[in-house]
Structure 1
Amino acid sequence: MSLLFIGIDPNTGDDKSPTVWVDQEKKEFVLQGWKPGTELEAECAAFHVPGHAKGIPDDEAVIRIPARMTPMIREACDALERADVR
């Protein structure tokens, strides 16, 4: 895997660390965030999207990251869109 570190939430201190990377080989975002709690996870699982089954597949997860990390997510988008990904 060829991970490119984009950024870490500057407000989380040493023990918690929502983080953004991009996988340069697979052209994917890799996000680390907080577990959502059962109420939000249940709400997401119950949400109906046309053409998709309800629920969260076993190989997928719901995570939370703070909105203050938006610039890092934008940077990750830019990194994946560039033809010359680092």
Structure 2
Amino acid sequence: MTLRFIAKDPETNGDHCPTAWVRHEEKEIVFQGWLADAALEAECLATGPIPDNEGVIRLPFRMIQAIREACDVAEGATVR
């Protein structure tokens, strides 16, 4: 399996929660998050277009540790 689970939102109710994974073979970090609303997407578009195969997602600050861990795993570092 190429998808390695890292963590879910630590304040999850167990359903519909932000999640982080790493795909080593594809050299990707994968996130599940909340979709941006139209206003946030419009703000993001101010810095450039969003291609049809990309999207803007939101992750809560409480996911920072999971994001760091995903980065460490992706780099092959020892995870704390």
Q: TM-score, normalised by structure 2?
A: 0.88
**SS of the residue 1:72 aligns to:** helix
Structure 1 match to 2:43 = 43
Q: Name whichever structure is richer in strand by fraction.
A: 2
Structure 2 residue corresponding to 1:58, chosen from 11, 35, 52 = 52
Aligned-pair RMSD on alpha carbons?
A: 1.4
> Residues 10-25 of structure 1 correspond to what in structure 2 (within 5 A)?
10-25=10-25
Unaligned runs of 5+ in 1: 48-53
Displacement of 1:13 in angstroms is: 1.0
Larger Rg: 1
Quick one: which amino acid aligns to residue 38 of structure 1? Answer: A
Unaligned runs of 5+ in 2: none
Task: Determine what percentage of the aligned residue pairs are the same residue.
Answer: 56
Which 4+ residue blocks in structure 1 deviate beyond 6 angstroms?
Answer: none
> Residues 74-85 of structure 1 correspond to what in structure 2 (within 5 A)?
74-82=68-76
**SS of the residue 1:79 aligns to:** helix
